[in-house]
Amino acid sequence: MTGGLDRAVADYLAVRRSLGYQLARPEKLLAQFTAYLERAGAVTVTTEHALAWAVLPGGDPAWHSYRLAVVRGFAAWLRTVDPAAQIPPAGLIPARRQRATPYLYNDGEVAALMAAASSLRFPLRTATYQTLIGLLAATGMRVGEAIGLDRGDADLDAGVLTVRNGKHGKSRLVPVHDTTALALRDYLRLRDRLCPDAAAPAVLVSPAGTRLLYCNVHATWKKLAASAGLRPRSGNCRPRIHDLRHSFAVRTMLDAYESGADGQATLAALSTYLGHIDPKATYWYLSASPELMAAAGRRLGAWLERP
């Protein structure tokens, strides 16, 4: 059914997306896989072809395993309408992805990143990246959520941002501090002056007035991190933009411990604020922090020493 594989992929993605999945990367990979099958003259999915395709590109076993897992999910669905389709067994490419150790930023490093943005070519680009860095550090938002904000999502008088269609299709309200609202208001006044006819309704725009692209943000981030003098702390701990989110989570819990607040209540509120559907995801952000573990240990020690 080679001619119908593209249609089958479209149907499969439509079903998954109706459940809230976004599937941008799987969509690209499945298009590449069906093109591979067509070149091979295959009429449906087979384990042999799936495995051969999964290990084609360079990369580590974890990436190969992910590619095969994408095909496995599609093959399991395809089998319901095409009995000849084969479902590749799990474990053909055993690989456990090692999660990166979070790079926890201190205030000086965040300031250095914002200062590095002053060297960017256009004044609006400088202001946009300084605002983006500050927003991520102050709220723990995901990069995609920040660049996805529209003007109508920012109620700066109430101090609330609305994240729409975040991870897993979830939306939420993100209250912000008065200083964050003030910084956003100042940025919007500047961008309206420098780019009065922006082509996008986005809060954060490029010098051309368009919404920031995820890939361009990451490319610029690498340049800013290098310019700010940030260096890897180990082979598995590098300065990633996503780690501003980790840093926010850790700082929030440290503040709670130092103020004597209820840690469990703070963790539950933090999980909701960050948009996690499972508190275990928030716990991962925290368990990788030696500073936080030390603070928790001190608090436990003080409790054990009570008369």
Predicted local distance difference test score (pLDDT) of residue 301: 47
Nearest-5° Cα angle at 127, 121 to 129: 85
Catalytic residue among 79, 164, 167, 172: 167
Residue 86 in 3-state DSSP?
A: coil
| pLDDT (mean) for 237-248 | 91
Catalytic residue among 191, 245, 246, 251: 245
Q: Is 260 left (phi over 0), alpha (psi -120 to 50) or beta?
A: left
The reply to whether 242 belongs to the active site is: yes
Q: Residue 279 above 50 pLDDT?
A: yes
Q: What whole-number percentage of the chain has pLDDT above 90?
A: 60
Tokens 């300031």 belong to residue: 111
Beta-ladder partners of 165: none
Residue 27 banded pLDDT, cuts 50, 70, 90: very high
Q: Residue 261 above 80 pLDDT?
A: no
Predicted local distance difference test score (pLDDT) of residue 304: 46
Catalytic residue among 64, 142, 191, 251: 142
- Return the structure tokens found at 5: 């594989």
pTM of the shown model:
0.68
Q: Residue 140 above 80 pLDDT?
A: yes
The reply to whether 121 belongs to the active site is: no
Closest alpha carbon to 299 in 251, 246, 247, 255: 255
Task: Tell me the per-residue pLDDT of 97-121, one tens digit each, with 9 for 90 and over.
Answer: 667 778 889 999 999 999 999 999 9
Cα separation, 132 vs 25, whole angstroms: 25
123-227 CATH fold: hpI Integrase; Chain A (1.10.443)
Position with higher pLDDT, 207 vs 283: 207
| pLDDT (mean) for 226-237 | 90
Predicted local distance difference test score (pLDDT) of residue 120: 96
Domain locations along the chain: 2-78, 123-227
| pLDDT (mean) for 273-288 | 69
The reply to whether 142 belongs to the active site is: yes
Residue 286 banded pLDDT, cuts 50, 70, 90: low
The reply to whether 177 belongs to the active site is: no
Position with higher pLDDT, 67 vs 58: 67
Closest alpha carbon to 244 in 119, 102, 98, 148: 102
For residue 57, give every residue at least 6 positions away whose Cβ sits within 8 Å of its Cβ, in sequence order, or none.
Answer: 63, 67
The reply to whether 167 belongs to the active site is: yes
Catalytic residue among 16, 242, 283, 299: 242
Average pLDDT, the chain: 86
The reply to whether 170 belongs to the active site is: no
| The one-letter amino acid at 231 | R
Q: Residue 22 above 50 pLDDT?
A: yes
Q: Residue 232 above 70 pLDDT?
A: yes
Cα separation, 129 vs 224, whole angstroms: 10
